[in-house]
Amino acid sequence: MVKAGNREQGSGIRDPGLTLSTPKAEPLAVVLLGPTGSGKTALSLALAERFNGEIVSCDSVAVYRGMELGTAKPTREERARVPHHLIDVAEPDEPFTAGAYSRLARELLQEIAVRKHRMPIVTGGTGLYLRALTEGLFAGPERQEELRTRLRRSVERHGNAWLHRLLRKLDKTTAERIHANDTPKLIRAIEVCLAARSPLSALLQNEGRNPLTGFRLVRIGLIPPRAALYDRLNQRCAAMFAAGLVEETRGLLDRFGPVKALDSLGYKQAFGVLDGSLGFDEAVRAAQQGHRNYAKRQMTWFRREPEVHWIERFGDDAETVREAVDLIQGALATAG
């Protein structure tokens, strides 16, 4: 008969000196998602203070230094309350991709949860960055700058609809998933199809992705009433311009030129004021409309995220905080 210490296998008698190891629960990471203006920053701060957390920004524009007014970054005071990460990590003229974000964010999650034993709270509205973090990205062929330049020039001559029709000819499945006005994603999809000589959708199916492992994710989504959200976005845009967004944009243009980062919402309209194509009030209205449209696209994207606990209020609502706290406490109790 096989023996383990003084305990005979199958005897039902356990040696007091023998310790049986149990699997350690994976650390918890919270993901806060939702449209711009829904109050993610306020909720992330409340949860970080409640659960000894650190905030990992998931915003493709907040990564850039000097872009303050148009990004709705957490204020200096808010960043002083709890540690924030992946804000102000690149200059506006430096390329910063979803792949780079995923790599840095995954390293931070390990640092925060495993080595510092604190709770990582990922918050932001850039859906592609979030998907890159949680599901991984298809690596695909390398960037081909010459092709990208030709495609951008074609967009200038023929418009986005031409680009979308081209992708539809190359890969109908992928074209149906990308909005006709999303130029960067259209260009990348076309680039992959041409370089690999195969539809992107087929490559994704065959090669797959590299999903995040080692964490249990609690996904909390904010979906406040649309009319109230749009009103808040209108007020926020007007406040950005009143606080000096045009002057901030002028300073960035003087330092870096018309870089891609300045094509983001708010800055694009402020640039219109500077080049004379828009009046000040026109620019404010255009930015307001752009933010409302962006919020709608974000909700379309985020509805595809799995296992999201949706809260139909703003993140700075006391009931929202209580509901989110209860949800996280329940997840922690389940792990224990």
Q: Quick one: pLDDT at residue 319?
A: 98
User: Could you give the residue ranges of the DSSP H alpha helices within the chain?
Assistant: 40-50, 76-81, 98-109, 127-135, 145-158, 160-170, 172-177, 183-196, 200-207, 226-242, 245-256, 267-274, 280-302, 318-335
Please compute the mean of the pLDDT values over residues 166-173 and round it to a whole number. 92
Fold (CATH) for 145-207: Histone, subunit A (1.10.20)
Q: By mean pLDDT, which of 187-201, 214-228, 233-247 is the weakest?
A: 187-201
- State the pLDDT at residue 201: 83
The pLDDT > 90 percentage for the chain reads: 69
Mind listing the pLDDT tens digit for each residue in 62-100?
999 999 999 989 999 999 999 999 999 999 999 898 989
8 Å CB contact between 151 and 160: no
pTM of the model: 0.79
Question: Is the CA virtual torsion 83, 89, 92, 97 positive or negative?
Answer: negative
Tell me what the mean pLDDT of segment 262-274 comes to. 96
Query: What is the predicted pLDDT for the residue at 1?
Result: 35
Using the predicted structure, report yes or no on whether residue 179 has a pLDDT greater than 60.
yes
Residue 33 C-alpha from the chain's centroid:
8
Tens of pLDDT, residues 296-320: 999 999 998 999 999 999 999 999 9
> pLDDT digits over 320-334, tens only?
999 999 999 999 998
Confidence of residue 18 (pLDDT cuts 50, 70, 90): very low
Please, are residues 32 and 41 in contact by the beta-carbon 8 Å criterion? no
Supply the mean pLDDT for the chain. Answer: 89
Task: Give me the mean pLDDT over the 180-205 stretch.
Answer: 85
Give the confidence band of 20 by pLDDT, cuts at 50, 70, 90. very low
Q: What is the pLDDT of residues 185-197, one digit of tens each?
A: 899 889 988 988 8
Contact 77, 45 (CB under 8 A): no
* pLDDT surpasses 80 at 261: yes
Q: How far apart are CA 270 and CA 309, in angstroms?
A: 36
What does the pLDDT look like over 113-146, one tens digit per residue? Answer: 999 999 999 999 999 999 999 988 766 677 888 8
CATH code given to domain 28-137+209-335 = 3.40.50.300
Cα gap 56→44, rounded to integer Å? 10
